[in-house]
Amino acid sequence: MTASLPPLPLRRRLLLGMAAAPLLMRAPALLAAAETPRALDFLHTHTDEKLSVVYFDDGRYVPDALAAVNRLLRDFRTGERYPMDPVLLDILHDLRTLHGGGTFEIVSAYRSPATNANLAEKSGGVARNSLHMQGKAIDVRVTGRNTAALRDAAIALARGGVGFYPRPDFVHLDTGRVRRWGPQKS
């Protein structure tokens, strides 16, 4: 005898049907790739530094690769480094897979508390307790790709916060609770 699960509420069925359909169609491929090497390509928009890195291989995160990522994603204003959350890298990897590849252009990654406080004073759009200060957030675009499409893919993943900033042309991604902000239509 098999136990049946209760039906999903209508709202969740609608959300899964609309927003997650592209992701669900590709989910088997993402699951099959769970143990394969994971690579990312970066270009830092403020320092012009580039990094192509395999950060996960043979079923584990690669310490030297993570150190290279932490170096690149440092607070470029102060030089301070902080360990970036590997789950954030996994989100980027999955987005790269869903979005068709490409190089992530880094607008902002780790921010020291001093940098974040300075930015928060100048802009109402900077959270005083930003996940950037914990290595759990990144602001990116993909070279040569539509940023609104990147936003849509990130929303479909439903794996953290997604903010869309069309004028400066970037998407904020974080490993916090699932939420979204910014224009939903482009």
Residue 30, pLDDT score = 52
Neighbours of 117 (CB within 10 A): 14
User: pTM of the entire structure?
Assistant: 0.80
Tell me the H-state helices in 5-125.
Answer: 10-18, 21-32, 63-72, 86-99, 113-122
Q: Which CATH class is domain 11-181?
A: alpha beta
Q: Which of 5-19, 25-39, 115-129 has the highest mean pLDDT?
A: 115-129
pLDDT in tens, 13-51: 334 444 444 555 555 555 545 678 999 999 999 999 999
pLDDT exceeds 70 at position 140: yes
Residue 124 has pLDDT above 70, yes or no: no
Residues 6+ apart with CB under 8 A from 135: 70, 73, 82, 83, 84, 85, 88, 109, 110
